[in-house]
Amino acid sequence: MNLVLDLGNSRCKWALARPPGMAEVRNTPEQFFRNDGLTPGGAFAYSDDFTRALDQAFGPLSRPAQVAVVSVAGAVRTDRLAHWVQRRWNLDLLRFSARAVQCGVTNTYKDPAQLGADRWAALIAARTRAPDAVCVVDCGTATTVDALDHKGVFRGGVIFPGVALMLSSLLQGTQGIPASAGNPDTCLAQTTSDAVAAGVLYSLAGAIDRILDEQAAELGGAPQVLLTGGNAEVLSSLMRHTTTLVPDLVLEGVARMVATEGAA
């Protein structure tokens, strides 16, 4: 098995991936792979003691064949993961970043390496899932909406704040807005906390819908829309576009990159 990780801005997400050619054995709980080759892992928020968090999450696992990561969490945290993997399993951490071409996806960024590694992994997974045009929406700490055409060419995308960042900006930039959870069920809110909750979610859902309209016009037709990230489910319920929720899209992309690394 391979251990695949996504070091995001606020959390570490992980799963186990079945390497190509590995028989679908089911002798232990960690080998119950899904049809996409992943078995559910977990996620944990970063803390002051990252090494301890790694011990708790991965200490019980048997030695994987490879450990691979995409990271936007910074060099310090990624290096600590690499040190932990080397000390625990005597393995070198396989770090993926965006390339010009990989797994049937062409990167059109002016500097391909500047595209976020998590966005790149999600695009690779999207290409595997959807052979035609597709838009990928990642609803995490930041919200990203990326467009992939029917030839697998990344046409570009946008980045804007996610739910937590929008809430924190309101709290920091205003007086009298309470730092409490509100009910986002209606845009006719009658308390300030409810108004903030609804305003943040509906504004994000509306922005995503508008951006998808613009991207669809460039791509032609009606591209499939894949949603991932911690806030994907709640935002999907408020959007006009038909979407498919794929919670582990980034990890699927990492698994795909591992499986094809070194192939022609």
What is the Cα–Cα distance from 28 to 230, expressed in whole angstroms? 28
Q: Is 146 annotated as catalytic?
A: no
CB neighbourhood size of 56 (10 A): 11
Q: Are 154 and 143 in contact (CB under 8 A)?
A: no
Q: Is 176 left (phi over 0), alpha (psi -120 to 50) or beta?
A: left
For residue 84, give both structure tokens.
Answer: 């932990």
Name the active-site residue from 6, 36, 118, 146. 118
Handedness of CA 160, 162, 165, 171 (dihedral sign): positive
What is the Cα–Cα distance from 227 to 138, expressed in whole angstroms? 6
User: Residue 41 burial by CB count (10 A; 0-12/13-18/19+): exposed, middle or buried?
Assistant: buried
What is the Cα–Cα distance from 218 to 20, expressed in whole angstroms? 36
Active site amino acids: 118
